[in-house]
Amino acid sequence: MDMFKVTVNGVEVEAPKGTTVLDAAKKAGVDIPTLCYMRKVNEIGACRICMTEVDEGRGFRLVASCVYPISNGMKIKTNSKTVMDSRRTTLELILSTHNKKCLSCVRSGHCELQNLCNDMGVDNELAFMGENETYELDFSATHMYRDNSKCILCRRCVAACEQQGVGVIGPNNRGFKTHISSAYELGLGETSCISCGQCIAVCPVGAISEKDYTADVFEAIADPNKYVVVQTAPSVRAALGEEFGFPIGTNVEGKMASALRQMGFDGVFDTNFGADLTIMEEANELVERVQNGGSLPMITSCSPGWVKYCEHYFPELTNHLSSCKSPMTMQGATAKTYYAEKLGIDPKNMVSVAVMPCTAKKFEAKRDNESAAGVPDIDYVLTTREFARMIRRCGMNFAELPDSKFDTPFGITTGAAVIFGATGGVMEAALRTASYFITGKDPDNVDFGEVRGVKGIKEATYKIGDLEVKVAVASCTANAALLLQQIKEGKSPYTFIEVMACPGGCVNGGGQPQQPMSVRNFVDLRAERAKALYDEDAGKVIRCSHQNPEIKAVYDEFFGKPGSHKAHEILHTSYVKRGM
């Protein structure tokens, strides 16, 4: 490999040929600001915030550092007056057409544009007066809204949508009238958007955000006639701490439970119980399909963004989806049937709240056939970000909260359940229990390491008893499409496929804390957050779903056995062939 030597502000560094000026500067300990740049996703050099001076023997000139490659002997200046003036002018031009109602903006305080203005000393927001177009807010989607008056045309949302293989948004019109929208100016809810929220996760400003239900949840808690229960998904504990200054990948499960209890929820539960329940039903369904000639490969149904993608883009393959509800809705359904019956509470008076890493869960909660007790299994879905807002509004010092445990029932969970938050986790958890269902004994080794990691598609073959099981794991719906095409062509060699809509799985969901690109471009959030879940799994005494005593109890007392008629009525669902 050819290595080049360059100097960054007088500091000599060595980097491989092809390295960008941005990365060479990072190696020298210098962070060059960016707005539009997303590593390997949106490398377009469009915003010009990263302009930097370079000299390749012909004098210094400005280049976009995020896409400009270094050359041997290059001199780089990242903080000259020319560079600083260029960046400030660019920011002032962006502000000239930007809605500057920052105090009421959902991103105030952690807006990348706001932070850049502070860092660059841009205090004259009226330096330029641009033509300001007016836009109606788009509230047509179930899970999010769009406010184009705050959009800075960085196109990060467009790139994220294209990365998912969806591509329902893009730039319309030209000049000052350019804006991000859908084809024919359709509302997002009228398109084949899959509700994954990856566009929200990467937006640097407040142009797009999830619909916020925190006020509704506070109102429900305050209602003396309502019994309000809450559940938290596995990956929330691995990311929530980032909202309060904890290092990426810190498991804050105990403080999270304390925060929920102090808010006044009547029952504080762990979605991990629902994950264990899902594995019991899903593993049983897989074995039944294999033994009785059902549609194979069977594909997981835990990720509502993935399910919606399949319904829109491969509707003819919905019969391959597991009929199991997701852990969230399984737990909601069990709370409003089994648990409500134990407490003698009318399900109509129980409010079920779910804290999720996923914006598509907001859509899932409103799907048909998600109301086992005659009322919605889930009443409100909050993202990890919404939950963090609630904690702040309550005035809690999150870092100082004591650790506490979840309530029972639904409090004892397994290592198999917690890894649901990482790509490959559902597959691994299902294999642990499917092995037991097939052979009648627990596997000698419950670690199925081949399906771990952030690679887009992973494959493995396992011998379980006399059965050879070939499996695949896909994260990001664009990768899932490759596997689905094989099924359409009759060429799929797999027995079981796991799909997560978001790259890396739920740990990287559209509702997780928003990290700036200065972090996302250099830290693998997926791997760091997933590590917290795998560490918890490794430390669990019980690591297989079928070994959970509370799971055994709910079957003994209520469902009977996995796949029973009652279990199908409450824990299984149906799908819609939506098409494009």
Round to whole Å and give the CA distance between 377 and 357. 18
Strand intervals (E) in 465-580: 467-475, 496-500
Q: Do residues 513 and 110 make contact, with C-beta atoms less than 8 angstroms apart? A: no
Instruction: Enumerate the CATH 3.10.20.740 domain ranges in the chain, comma separated.
Output: 3-79
Round to whole Å and give the CA distance between 170 and 180. 5
* Stretch 189-211: mean pLDDT: 98
Instruction: Output the CA–CA distances (angstroms, integers) from residue 125 to 82, 100, 175, in the order listed.
Output: 20, 9, 21
Confidence of residue 355 (pLDDT cuts 50, 70, 90): very high
Specify the fold of 215-571. Answer: Rossmann fold (3.40.50)
Question: Residue 449: how many CB atoms within 10 A of its CB?
Answer: 11
Kindly tell me if the per-residue pLDDT of 234 is higher than 90.
Answer: yes
- The secondary element (H helix, E strand) that includes residue 199 is helix 198-202
pLDDT at 190: 97
Instruction: Enumerate the CATH 3.30.70.20 domain ranges in the chain, comma separated.
Output: 127-210
pLDDT at 132: 81
List pLDDT tens digits, range 56-68.
999 999 999 999 9
Kindly tell me if the per-residue pLDDT of 320 is higher than 90.
Answer: yes
Percent of the chain with pLDDT over 70: 100
Q: Do residues 433 and 544 make contact, with C-beta atoms less than 8 angstroms apart? A: yes
Specify the fold of 3-79. Answer: Ubiquitin-like (UB roll) (3.10.20)
- The secondary element (H helix, E strand) that includes residue 85 is helix 81-95
Confidence of residue 126 (pLDDT cuts 50, 70, 90): confident
Confidence of residue 131 (pLDDT cuts 50, 70, 90): confident
* Residue 199 structure tokens: 């566009």
pLDDT at 521: 96
Round to whole Å and give the CA distance between 43 and 278. 40
pLDDT at 129: 81
Round to whole Å and give the CA distance between 521 and 507. 17
Round to whole Å and give the CA distance between 230 and 220. 12
CATH class of the domain at 127-210? alpha beta
DSSP of 244-297: GTPPTT---HHHHHHHHHHHT-SEEEEHHHHHHHHHHHHHHHHHHHHHHT--SS
* Residue 169 structure tokens: 């948004």
* Residue 173 structure tokens: 């019109």
H runs (alpha helix) in 383-524: 384-393, 415-418, 425-439, 477-488, 517-520
pLDDT at 176: 87
Round to whole Å and give the CA distance between 504 and 522. 16
Kindly tell me if the per-residue pLDDT of 130 is higher than 80.
Answer: no
pLDDT at 128: 85
Give the lowest-confidence range in 74-78, 124-128, 519-523. 124-128
Amino acid in the structure at residue 273: F
Which residues touch 112 (CB under 8 Å, ≥6 apart)?
Answer: 35, 204, 205, 516, 517
Question: Residue 493: how many CB atoms within 10 A of its CB?
Answer: 10
Kindly tell me if the per-residue pLDDT of 133 is higher than 90.
Answer: no
pLDDT at 35: 97
Kindly tell me if the per-residue pLDDT of 580 is higher than 80.
Answer: no
Kindly tell me if the per-residue pLDDT of 196 is higher than 80.
Answer: yes
Round to whole Å and give the CA distance between 533 and 164. 24
* Stretch 400-407: mean pLDDT: 97
Q: Do residues 378 and 329 make contact, with C-beta atoms less than 8 angstroms apart? A: yes
* Stretch 7-34: mean pLDDT: 97
Percent of the chain with pLDDT over 90: 95
